[in-house]
C-alpha cells in the first residue's frame, strides 16, 4: 500500500491556490481602478495573482518524489517509487512522531532506526499510522495451528472405537 502525495492531490492544491490568487489579484485590480492607479499598480496585481500558486507549486511538487510502501511485512521508504531509501520490518515499528523539527513525520522503529517522511498532509499521515499499527499486529500474531484431517490408508482397516458398541 502506497502512502505519499499524488499528482491529483497536488493539482487540487494548485487549483485552490490559483483561486486564492485570482481573488487577491481581483481585489488589487478593483482597488487600483477605484483609486485611479491601475497604471502603476498592475505589476503588484499580477504578483498577487501568481504568488500563491507558485509558492505552493515550489513547496509541494518535490514531495511527489518520496513515498512509503507497506508490503510483505516490510516498510519501504521510496524515492521516485523506484529507489529504496530504507527497508525495515513492520514488526519493529514502534510509533509515528508528528511535527518535530524540520521533518514533520518520523516513523520510529526499534534500535532507534527511523524513516523521515515529509510533505504528506495529516490525512495521509493518519492513514499511514493506522496501517502501520494494524500491519504490526498482524506481523506479531502467532499463526493458529491448522487442524489436520486424518484418514485411513486405502489398504488399512479402522481400529474399533472403545466408545461405540459393536453388534
Digit-coded pLDDT (tens) for 15-59: 999 999 999 988 888 888 888 887 888 888 888 889 989 988 888
pLDDT score recorded for residue 161: 58
Of residues 157 and 24, which shows the higher confidence score? 24
DSSP 90: G
Residue 77 in contact with residue 84, Cβ under 8 Å? Answer: yes
> Which residue ranges make up each domain of the chain?
2-63, 69-140
Considering only residues 51 and 142, tell me which one the structure prediction assigns the higher pLDDT.
Answer: 51
What is the mean pLDDT of the segment spanning 141-164?
Answer: 62
Per-residue pLDDT at 23: 92
**Per-residue model confidence as pLDDT tens digits over 72-85:** 888 888 888 889 88
pLDDT at 148 over 70: no
DSSP state of 79: E
pTM beyond 0.85: no
Distance CA 118, CA 98 (A): 10
Q: What percentage of the chain has pLDDT greater than the value 90?
A: 6
For 72, half-sphere exposure in the C-beta direction (CA atoms, 13 angstrom radius) is 3
- List, for residues 92-137, the tens digit of each pLDDT value: 888 888 765 555 788 888 888 888 887 777 778 888 888 888 888 8
In this predicted structure, the answer to whether residue 88 has a pLDDT above a threshold of 90 is no
How far apart CA 55 and CA 157 sit, in angstroms, is 82
User: C-alpha grid cell for residue 117?
Assistant: 517522511
Q: Are the CB atoms for 96 and 129 separated by under 8 Å?
A: yes
Amino acid at each position: 500500500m502506497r502512502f505519499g502525495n499524488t499528482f491529483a492531490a497536488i493539482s487540487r492544491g494548485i487549483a485552490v491556490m490559483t483561486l486564492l490568487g485570482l481573488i487577491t489579484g481581483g481585489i488589487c485590480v478593483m482597488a487600483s481602478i477605484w483609486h485611479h492607479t491601475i497604471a502603476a499598480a498592475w505589476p503588484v496585481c499580477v504578483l498577487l495573482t501568481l504568488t500563491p500558486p507558485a509558492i505552493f507549486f515550489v513547496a509541494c511538487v518535490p514531495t511527489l518524489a518520496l513515498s512509503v510502501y507497506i508490503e510483505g511485512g516490510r516498510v519501504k521508504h521510496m524515492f521516485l517509487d523506484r529507489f529504496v531509501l530504507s527497508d525495515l520490518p513492520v514488526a519493529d515499528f514502534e510509533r509515528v512522531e508528528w511535527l518535530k523539527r524540520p521533518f514533520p513525520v518520523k516513523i520510529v522503529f526499534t534500535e532507534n532506526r527511523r524513516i523521515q517522511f515529509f510533505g504528506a498532509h495529516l490525512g495521509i499521515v493518519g492513514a499511514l499510522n493506522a496501517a502501520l499499527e494494524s500491519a504490526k499486529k498482524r506481523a506479531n500474531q502467532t499463526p493458529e495451528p491448522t487442524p489436520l484431517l486424518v484418514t485411513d490408508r486405502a489398504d488399512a482397516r479402522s481400529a474399533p472405537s472403545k466408545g461405540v458398541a459393536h453388534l
